[in-house]
Amino acid sequence: MKKILIAVMLALATLWAGEDSTSVEFDHASLAVEGGALYLLDDANRNLDDSYYGLLELNYTYFQSLIGVVQFGYSYLTTKGDVDYAGIHQFNGRVGVDYPLPFVKPVAFGAGFSCVWMRADDEGGNVANSSLADNESEFGFYARLNLPIVTWDAWRVGAKIYFETLWTAPENSETAWFGFYLQRNLW
């Protein structure tokens, strides 16, 4: 009986996993360049100034109406107060999905995971006693709103609003990002 049950389950799994001719995975891909402002929303703003950022983004159709997102970006955070170094190099990477809202297309809501790598700028400063003397990485979560403004042929211009939480100790770090992007469809 056990062998028959396993055989039936294997047959059902094979039928269910059969190739779907209406698959949308990677049917569409686009590349975007984005730039904007980064605002620190927690205690980090006591020692760091708000900054600007730039990033590169790859979008692709993922599953049905979900759009996959991969991002890599950079920002430089200048220090203020009695910090021993001039600033922090911040590299960020994100992976997530966007969901086009059906009632206000082409506006999309997205969410995913973030990874931030930071390193103190050691030119002209004393970083030896800092936790940022070598690379520091933090992980977190982001949510975003994608607001396309103009679309023509294979190009799109729009704005994005992010809220990001990094799981740092002793408290989470929160950041808001506001930016504009230029996007080009690849296929």
Pair 136, 162: CB distance under 8 Å: no
Q: Which of 22-26, 105-109, 183-187 has the lowest mean pLDDT?
A: 22-26
Look at the chain and report how many structural domains it folds into: 1
At a CB cut-off of 8 Å and minimum separation 6, what does 126 contact?
84, 85
Task: Please check whether residue 13 lies inside any domain of the structure.
Answer: no
Between CA 16 and CA 28 the distance in angstroms is 25
pLDDT at 109: 96
CA distance 110 to 1: 47
91 vs 168, which has greater pLDDT? 91
The secondary element (H helix, E strand) that includes residue 79 is none
**Is 80 exceeded by the pLDDT of residue 122?**
no
Asked, for residue 18, whether it belongs to a domain, the answer is no
What is the domain range of residue 90? 25-185
Is 3 within the bounds of a domain? no
Q: How far apart are CA 132 and CA 116, in angstroms?
A: 12
* Domain-embedded: residue 14: no
Sign of CA pseudo-dihedral 59, 61, 62, 65: positive
